[in-house]
Amino acid sequence: MAAPILRIENISKRYGKKDVLQGASLEVNKGDLKILIGPSGAGKSTLLQCINFLVKPDEGRIWLDEQEVHYAHKRDLYAYRQKVGMIFQDFNLFDHLNALENVRIGMVKVKGMGKAEAGERAVMELERVGLGDHMQKYPAQLSGGQKQRVSIARALAMDPKVMLLDEPTSALDPELVGEVHAVIRDLGNNGMTMIMATHQIGFASSLASEIIFMEDGRILERGTPDKIFNHAENARTREFCSKITELYGER
């Protein structure tokens, strides 16, 4: 068994007196798709943001490719973040740049690639997410689903080893969810390693290598989709799964 590509050990985070994360640990192998589920406030988003240090954990250590990340060293941190792509619930496209420039800017300003070369790669990534016809459009001219696909292309252009997806379809109209799911499914089929928080358990159960149920900043239970959705040991897990199945339909 190969060593995990990403190892997270005992991550904790407090805001004032509130413990939002209490010692979360996770091992992610290459090609895994880990799905985080749990009620809002469970700490899913904080965990994802701690993984690329957008939120600085109070405790805990992280290894990427068996190299510990020394996030206090700015240079190491910036290099690490390039390898960990982040997809946000509300897209966070750069509003003053068109789709092509959004995808290109990281390559040019962070990796130091030439504009032409980066431009070609950006075109490729946008075509890959089905936006070849919308490259000159600005975020305000794109639909939610298109915006999220641009943001996926923007992350992919950096050649990430792991992608973190923080409820990528929660801000979308129901009819736009499918196009984003298709792109994520495609990524998974091509072997991308991903950790995703979502409430779309139908999608989750069909793709996930492991489901992780979180509540109150803790990982309460983890296992295969079948185990978590059908034979969960923890009463809270069962309760949550049945509620969310009602909301988001049959799996």
Partner 1 sequence: MPESLIAIGDALPYLLRGSLVTLIVVVGAMGLGLVLGVPLAVGQVYGHPALRRLIAVYVWFFRGIPLLVLLFLFYFGPCTAFDINLAAFTVAIIVLGLISSAYQSQIFRGAILSLPEGQFKAARALGMSDLKAISVIILPQALRLSIPGWSNEYSILLKDSAVTYALGVAEIMARAHFVATRTYQQLPLYFAAGVIFLVLTWMGTKGLRLLEEKVRIPGYSTHGL
CA distance 133 to 99: 10
Enumerate residues 6+ apart whose C-beta is below 8 A from 151. Answer: 87, 88, 91, 92, 93, 102
Report how many residues bind partner 1 under the rule CB under 8 A.
Answer: 31
- Beta strands 59-64 and 6-15 are antiparallel
3-state secondary structure of 106: helix
Distance (Å, rounded) from C-alpha 238 to C-alpha 210? Answer: 16
Binding to partner 1 (CB under 8 A) within 152-181 occurs at: 154, 158
Q: Which of residues 74-113 bind partner 1 (CB under 8 A)?
A: 74, 78-82, 85-86, 88, 90-96, 98, 105-106, 109-110
Binding string, residues 47-66; x marks residues near partner 1 by CB under 8 A: -----x-x------------
- In the bound state with partner 1, the residue whose beta carbon lies nearer, of 101 and 215, is 101
The residue with tokens 């409430």 is 199
Distance of closest approach, residue 133 Cβ to partner 1, in angstroms: 16
Between 137 and 236, name the residue whose CB sits nearer to partner 1: 137
Residue 250 CB coordination number (10 Å): 7
In the set 139, 145, 168, 217, which binds partner 1 (CB under 8 A)? 139
Query: How far is it, in rounded angstroms, from Cα 178 to Cα 144?
Result: 12
Is the CB of 138 or the CB of 248 nearer to partner 1?
A: 138
Chain positions contacting partner 1, by CB under 8 A: 52, 54, 74, 78-82, 85-86, 88, 90-96, 98, 105-106, 109-110, 137-141, 151, 154, 158
